[in-house]
Amino acid sequence: MQKNPTDWQDNIVLVTGGSNGLGKVIATTFAEHGAKLAIVGLERSDVEQTAEEFKSHGYQALPLVADVTKPEDCQRVVTQTVEHYGALDVLVNAAGRTHRGRLMQTPLDEFDSLWRLNVMGTIACTQAAYAQLVARRGHVVNIGSLAAKSASRWVGGYPISKHAVAAFSQQLRLESKEDGLHVLLVCPGPVKRDNPRLYPLKNAEGIPESALMPGGGVKVGKIDPKFLATRILRACAKRQPEIVIPSKARILFAVEQLCPKLGDWLVTKFT
C-alpha cells in the first residue's frame, strides 16, 4: 500500500548535507510533514544553527557533525540517530559538491576528492544505515544530477562521480528489492540558490563564463528547491525509482544511447 505523501508523522529522517542548500530544503520539507530530523554537516556552527532554526519552528532536529568520507563518521551518526529517536526510516544522501574545469587540466587529487565525497560518502552512509532502513521498509534518497545521466563540457570530474551515484542507486535498487528497501535516485537540473556555494569552485580558470553558472550552463530553467523537495517526498511515498527534472531531459538520455554522435551534438547545442 502506498504511503500518503503528506504524512511523514514521526518518521525519522537523516539528511547528510542537511545544514545548507538543497539538503536543508529537503530536511525542512520532511519536518513540515511531521518527520523527526537528524541533520548532518561538516561545519559545527552551520549544523547547530540550522537545528536551532528548525526547533524554533517546533520541529525536532538532532544536529550531528560528521565527515561522510569517513566510514566511522557515517556509522557514528546512524548510531546516534537511532539512539536518540529509536529508529531510522529515511536516509537522504545530499552531501556533495560540484566542479568546473577541463578534464585534462583537472588534478588527480581533485578527482579523488569528488569521488570520496560524492560517491564513497553516499555508499558509506548507505551501508551504515542499511540494516536500520530494511527493518522499517525505509527509503534511501540519493541526490544525483542531470550529469548522472549525461556528461557535458567544462565540468571536470563531476559527471564521472554522479554517473557512479546513478550506477550505485540502480544496483542497490536491484539487490534490495526483496529486502523491502526503497531506493530513489534524484536527477535535477540546476537548482535555484539563495545563498552562495558552501565551498567555492576549484580549477575553474580558462573555461567559458557561462560554464560557471549552475548546471554548468545547461539551457534549462532553474528548479525551485521547494518544488523538488516536495517531489522527492511524493516519490518516496509512491516508492518510485527515479526523478528526472526537467522530464524532457530523458529524450536526450535516450538519444545518447541510440546515437552518441547526435547526442553529443545536442549536448553541445544546449549547454
CB 95 within 8 A of CB 23: yes
CB 92 within 8 A of CB 31: no
Hunting for cell 566510514 — which residue is that? 71
For helices 121-135 and 158-176, what crossing angle results, to 10°?
Answer: 20
Q: What is the pLDDT of residue 198?
A: 54
CB 221 within 8 A of CB 227: no
Q: What is the DSSP letter of 145?
A: -
Q: What is the pLDDT of residue 193?
A: 78
Q: What is the DSSP letter of 40?
A: E
For this structure, is 130 an active site residue?
A: no
The whole model's pTM is what? 0.92
pLDDT digits (tens, 9 = 90+) for 88-121: 999 999 999 998 999 999 999 999 999 999 999 9
**Which helix (H) or strand (E) segment is 75 a member of?**
helix 71-85
How big is the CA angle at 42 (ends 110 and 61), to the nearest 5 degrees? Answer: 145
User: Would you say residue 1 has pLDDT above 60?
Assistant: no
Q: What is the pLDDT of residue 267?
A: 86
Q: What is the pLDDT of residue 270?
A: 78
pLDDT digits (tens, 9 = 90+) for 159-202: 999 999 999 999 999 999 999 999 999 999 989 977 655 556 66
pLDDT confidence band for 74 (50 / 70 / 90): very high
Q: What is the pLDDT of residue 204?
A: 63
The residues, any chain, with a CB within 8 Å of residue 196's CB and separated by 6 or more, are: none
- What ranges make up the beta strands (E) of 75-201? 90-93, 139-143, 182-188
User: Would you say residue 71 has pLDDT above 90?
Assistant: yes
pLDDT confidence band for 269 (50 / 70 / 90): confident
Average per-residue pLDDT for the chain? 92
For residues 245 and 179, give the distance between their C-alpha atoms in angstroms, rounded to a whole number: 28
Q: What is the pLDDT of residue 207?
A: 72
Q: What is the pLDDT of residue 5?
A: 65
**Which helix (H) or strand (E) segment is 41 a member of?**
strand 36-41
Q: What is the DSSP letter of 100?
A: -
Q: What is the pLDDT of residue 201?
A: 64
- Residue tagged active-site, from 59, 85, 130, 158: 158
Q: Quick one: cell of 17? A: 548535507
Q: What is the pLDDT of residue 250?
A: 93
Q: What is the pLDDT of residue 16?
A: 98
Among 199, 119, 205, residue whose Cα is nearest residue 157: 119
Hunting for cell 545544514 — which residue is that? 19
265 or 230: whose pLDDT is higher? 230
pLDDT digits (tens, 9 = 90+) for 127-160: 999 999 999 999 999 999 999 999 988 899 999 9
Average pLDDT score over residue span 14-42: 97
Q: Quick one: cell of 11? A: 518518521
Question: For a pLDDT cut of 70, what percent of the chain falls above it?
Answer: 90
Give the dihedral sign, CA 237/240/244/250.
Answer: negative
For residues 15 and 24, give the distance between their C-alpha atoms in angstroms, rounded to a whole number: 8
